[in-house]
Structure 1
Amino acid sequence: MDHRFAHDTVVQAAIHVHFNPLGTEVTEEAMQSNTNRWVGLFALRTVEPVGNQEPVARRWQFAFVAGVAVWTSVWGAGTADAQRPVVPGTGTELVGVADDFEDESWQYVPNNPKSTEDIDENQRSPMGKSTNGRWYEGIKRGHPDVVQRVATPTGGLSGSQGALLMRSKFTGIPGNASGTMHQDDFIANVQYRLKRRIDVSEVPSVTTRVFLPPVAEWEQRSGPHFGFRLALETTAMIEKEIGLFKLKRKEMGNEIYWPGLFIEFESKADSRSRSDDYAYLRVRSNQRGADFRGPQITTTGWWTLGMSVTPDGMVHYYASPGVDDLTEEDYITSQFPYGYEAERMRTFFYNICSADDGRRWSTSFIVDDPKVFLVRPKGKQMAGRSSNPRR
C-alpha cells in the first residue's frame, strides 16, 4: 500500500514558510539565532522511518540561503518587537482538559441531528458531547458524522491502546447534500473545565498526534481535509447590532478568531494536468488574514502538530512526521493572524472537511493524545505535570 505522496518543488515553499514577508515578524536577535540552524537543517533533511512510514529525503537547495539573505536585507530594519517562538509542549501539562482515549468505555453522544448554524442558523440542540465531559459539538458547524474510539494504528505513541477516529459524509445540513465543501468541528472542553480562559502571559501551547491514512484511502478531492486550530480572543473593532431595528455599528469589543494548520490535498483524480497526488500543510493565517502554503507532506502515517502563543500575542506553528515530541527543528512559522495580537486562549479543536455531495466520505483521520501546556500557569487550575523544554 502506498504510504507516500509525490515530491513537489519545495525550495520556494521553505523560504515562504520560514520568512514570509506578509506576516512573519521576528526580532533581529531571534532571526540571527535561528538562521544558521535552518540553513543547516534544510540544506539536506532526511526523515527517518517511523513505524509504518517509509524514509523520505528532502533536498533543500542552496537557493534557500539566498532567500534568507534577501529577506534579512529587506525586512531586518523594520521588524516588530516579537518574542522568540516557544516549542509546543514546553512547560506544565494541564491534566484533565484534553484526552488520551485510553478508557475503553469512551463514548461520544451525538444528539443528532447536528448543528448547522453557519448555513441555516439552526443549532438543533441539545449539542453532542463525550461521556467524559472533555469534548463537545461545535455549535457553529456541528460535529463529524462519525466520532469513534478505535485501536491505535501501528507506529503510534508507546503504550497507546486507544485513539479517536473522525469522518463525515454530510458536513453541511444533515441528509441534504449541497455539493459544496463544508466542515465539521470537534471541540475540546478546555475553557469550561478550567472555568476560565488562558491568558497569553501564561504562554499556552497545544500538541496533537494525527494519523494520515494511505494515499489510496483519501477522499479524492482537492482542498482542505483536516484542521487543527486554536480559539483565541483579542480586543478589536467589531460590528454589533444595536436596538430594535438591529442597526449595525462598529465599536471596540472582544473578537474571537481561529488560527490553525490544515492538511491540504491536491488530488490527481480531479485534474487533467496533475499526474500525482500531493499534500501539504496550509497555515492560517498571515497578518492580512490570508492562508499560505506550508511544508509539503511527503509521507502518510503519524504526524505531530503543535501551536504556541507567546505574551506578545504571536502564534507559532510546528509540525513533524512521527510521534516524537516537537523540537525547535520542527518550526514552521510565526504569525499575527489577521493582524491580531492574541490576548486569551479559549480552547483548541479539530475540523473534518468533505465535498458534502452525499456520496463520498471524508478522509478518515485518527488523532491521539492532544495536550495543553502552560509555561507560566497562574490562578486556579487542574493538576498539572511538568514537561522538559524541547531542544
Structure 2
Amino acid sequence: MRVSLVRFFFASLVAASVVFVANDADAQRPVVPGTGTELVGVADDFEDPNWGYVPRDPKSTEDIDENQRAPMGRSTNGRWYEGIKRGHPDVVQRIATPAGGIAGSKGALMMRSMYTGLPNRPSNKMHQDDFVANVQYRLGRRLNVSEVPSVTTRVFLPPVAEWESRSGPHFGFRLALETTAMTEQEIGRGIFKRKKMEMGNEIYWPGLFIEFENKDQTGKPDDYAYLRVRSNRRGGDFRGPQITTTGWWTLGMSVTPDGMVHYYASPGVDDLTEADYITSQFPYDYRCERFRTFFYNVCSADDGRRWSTSWIVDDPKVYALRPTGQIATRNRNQVR
C-alpha cells in the first residue's frame, strides 16, 4: 500500500534542496553517509536469533519529572541502552525482516510505544522515547570531527492505514554531537546555589524526523508525510522532502571537519549517493567537534489508548572517512 499523494519526483527535490544549504563561505563539500570504513563492534544488524532487550521498567522520564529510574534498560549484546532523558520504547523486539529489506537480512528491530510520557500516566500530549546506540562507550572514546563520522540506517514505513492516527512527528533518527559553547552552570550548594554562563561542553541532537499530517485532522483530501530537518542555525526545524511511498527507506547523516551536518535520504535500501542529498546545516549555530552516538525516537500521543506507529529499523552502521587510533574497521565491500 502506498501513500496516496502526488507522484514523487525525488530528483527535483534534490535540485530544489539548494535553498536549504547553510550559506557559509568556509563550508566544506558534503560527504555521503557511508563513505569510508565501517566501525566494527558498534551499531547492529539484528541477525542473532537470540537478540534480546532487558527493559528494567519503569523507564526513565528525566525530561518530565527529573526521575531517571535506574537501572536503565540494556540490550543483551551490549549495543543499545535506554536513554536517561526520556526512556526506551514500550516494545523493543527483534522480528523477521519485512519484504524488500537488505539482501540476506533475516532480522530487524521493531519499536513502538503507548506511554511515551510518565509510565501508565497518560498526559494526552505528544511525548517521545529514545533508543540509544552504545557507540561512545564501546569505542572507549568519542570520534573527532576530523575523522569525518557518518551514520546510515534503514527504516521500514508501514502502510499508512497502520500509522497512529495523529498529525505530528512519529519517528526520529538523530545524532548526539558535542561542541564548545556558552553553557549554564550551577555553582554552590543549597541557598547559595546560583547559575552562571561560561564556556563548556555542549551536547546537541540534530536529526531527521518523519512527520505526518493526518487528513482527518487537517481536512485535506489526502494524508501527507515528509521529512523534517533539525535544525537550522536558529535552532528551528524545517520541512524537507515529501514522502510519497511507504516501505523501506535509507536515511543518513555525516559530519565534516568544518563542524557541519549533512542530511541524506532515499526510498529503498540501496546505499546513499550524492543524488540523495537534502541539506547541510550548522544546527543551533554550533560547529560540531566530536561525535558521541546516534539514536532513534518513537513518538506517540501518550493518551493511554493508541499505540504509536510500529517502526522497524535494520542494519544501522557507523563509518569514519579518516579513522584514527585503535578502531576495528571493515571495508564496505566485505560480506554483510
Structure 1 stretches of 4+ moved >3 Å: 8-17
User: What is the rounded CA distance, in whole Å, between the counterparts of 1:286 and 1:237 in structure 2?
Assistant: 18
Residue 142 of structure 2 is matched in structure 1 by 197
Change (3 A) 1:360 1:191: same
User: Which residue of 191, 211, 226 maps to 1:264?
Assistant: 211
1:350 and 2:296 equivalent?
yes
User: Which residue of 315, 324, 332 maps to 2:278?
Assistant: 332
User: What is the rounded CA distance, in whole Å, between the counterparts of 1:246 and 1:331 in structure 2?
Assistant: 47
Change (3 A) 1:9 1:371: closer
- Tell me the amino acid that sits aligned with residue 99 of structure 1: D
Once the two structures are TM-superposed, the CA of residue 379 in structure 1 deviates from its matched residue by 1.1
- Tell me the amino acid that sits aligned with residue 293 of structure 2: T
TM-score by length of 1: 0.82
SS of 2:331 mapped into structure 1: strand
User: What is the rounded CA distance, in whole Å, between the counterparts of 2:277 and 2:8 in structure 1?
Assistant: 19
User: What is the rounded CA distance, in whole Å, between the counterparts of 1:312 and 1:153 in structure 2?
Assistant: 38
Residue 277 of structure 1 is matched in structure 2 by 223
1:295 and 2:241 equivalent?
yes
Residue 4 of structure 1 is matched in structure 2 by 3
Change (3 A) 1:16 1:177: farther
Residue 48 of structure 2 is matched in structure 1 by 103
1:318 and 2:276 equivalent?
no
Residue 69 of structure 1 is matched in structure 2 by none
User: What is the rounded CA distance, in whole Å, between the counterparts of 1:280 and 1:106 in structure 2?
Assistant: 32
Deviation by residue 1:100-159 (Cα, 9 ceiling, x = unmatched)? 000000000000000000000111110000000000000000000000000000000000
Counterparts of 1:1-391 in structure 2, within 5 Å, are 2-7=1-6, 17-20=17-20, 24-25=22-23, 79-244=24-189, 245-271=192-218, 273-381=219-327, 383-387=328-332
User: What is the rounded CA distance, in whole Å, between the counterparts of 2:15 and 2:187 in structure 1?
Assistant: 46
User: What is the rounded CA distance, in whole Å, between the counterparts of 1:5 and 1:296 in structure 2?
Assistant: 12
Kindly indicate which of the two structures has a greater share of residues assigned to helix: 1
Change (3 A) 1:250 1:13: farther
- Tell me the amino acid that sits aligned with residue 177 of structure 1: P
SS of 2:216 mapped into structure 1: helix
**Contact 1:318–1:326 (CA<8 Å) still a contact in 2?**
yes
In the alignment, structure 1 segments of 5+ residues that lack a partner are: 26-78
**Contact 1:285–1:292 (CA<8 Å) still a contact in 2?**
yes
**Contact 1:17–1:293 (CA<8 Å) still a contact in 2?**
no
Once the two structures are TM-superposed, the CA of residue 15 in structure 1 deviates from its matched residue by 7.0
SS of 1:7 mapped into structure 2: coil
User: What is the rounded CA distance, in whole Å, between the counterparts of 1:18 and 1:205 in structure 2?
Assistant: 21
- Tell me the amino acid that sits aligned with residue 377 of structure 1: P
SS of 1:210 mapped into structure 2: strand
Once the two structures are TM-superposed, the CA of residue 24 in structure 1 deviates from its matched residue by 1.3
User: What is the rounded CA distance, in whole Å, between the counterparts of 1:358 and 1:82 in structure 2?
Assistant: 46
State the aligned residue count.
Answer: 330
What root-mean-square deviation, in Å, do the aligned CA atoms of Structure 1 and Structure 2 show? Answer: 1.6
Deviation by residue 1:257-310 (Cα, 9 ceiling, x = unmatched)? 000000000001212x31210100000001110000000000000000000000
Once the two structures are TM-superposed, the CA of residue 9 in structure 1 deviates from its matched residue by 10
- Tell me the amino acid that sits aligned with residue 144 of structure 2: D
User: What is the rounded CA distance, in whole Å, between the counterparts of 1:322 and 1:10 in structure 2?
Assistant: 15
User: What is the rounded CA distance, in whole Å, between the counterparts of 2:84 and 2:145 in structure 1?
Assistant: 25
**Contact 1:5–1:297 (CA<8 Å) still a contact in 2?**
no
**Contact 1:208–1:304 (CA<8 Å) still a contact in 2?**
yes
**Contact 1:169–1:354 (CA<8 Å) still a contact in 2?**
yes
In the alignment, structure 2 segments of 5+ residues that lack a partner are: none
**Contact 1:13–1:293 (CA<8 Å) still a contact in 2?**
no
Change (3 A) 1:5 1:199: farther
User: What is the rounded CA distance, in whole Å, between the counterparts of 1:15 and 1:284 in structure 2?
Assistant: 20
User: What is the rounded CA distance, in whole Å, between the counterparts of 1:305 and 1:284 in structure 2?
Assistant: 14
Q: Which of 1 and 2 has higher RCO (CA within 8 Å, sep 6+)?
A: 2
Deviation by residue 1:181-232 (Cα, 9 ceiling, x = unmatched)? 0000000000000000000000000000000000100001000000000000
User: What is the rounded CA distance, in whole Å, between the counterparts of 1:13 and 1:319 in structure 2?
Assistant: 11
**Contact 2:151–2:317 (CA<8 Å) still a contact in 1?**
yes
Once the two structures are TM-superposed, the CA of residue 246 in structure 1 deviates from its matched residue by 2.2
SS of 1:156 mapped into structure 2: coil
**Contact 1:10–1:296 (CA<8 Å) still a contact in 2?**
no
Once the two structures are TM-superposed, the CA of residue 18 in structure 1 deviates from its matched residue by 2.6
SS of 1:359 mapped into structure 2: coil
- Tell me the amino acid that sits aligned with residue 104 of structure 1: P
**Contact 1:5–1:279 (CA<8 Å) still a contact in 2?**
no
**Contact 1:199–1:345 (CA<8 Å) still a contact in 2?**
yes
**Contact 2:14–2:275 (CA<8 Å) still a contact in 1?**
no
User: What is the rounded CA distance, in whole Å, between the counterparts of 1:326 and 1:15 in structure 2?
Assistant: 16
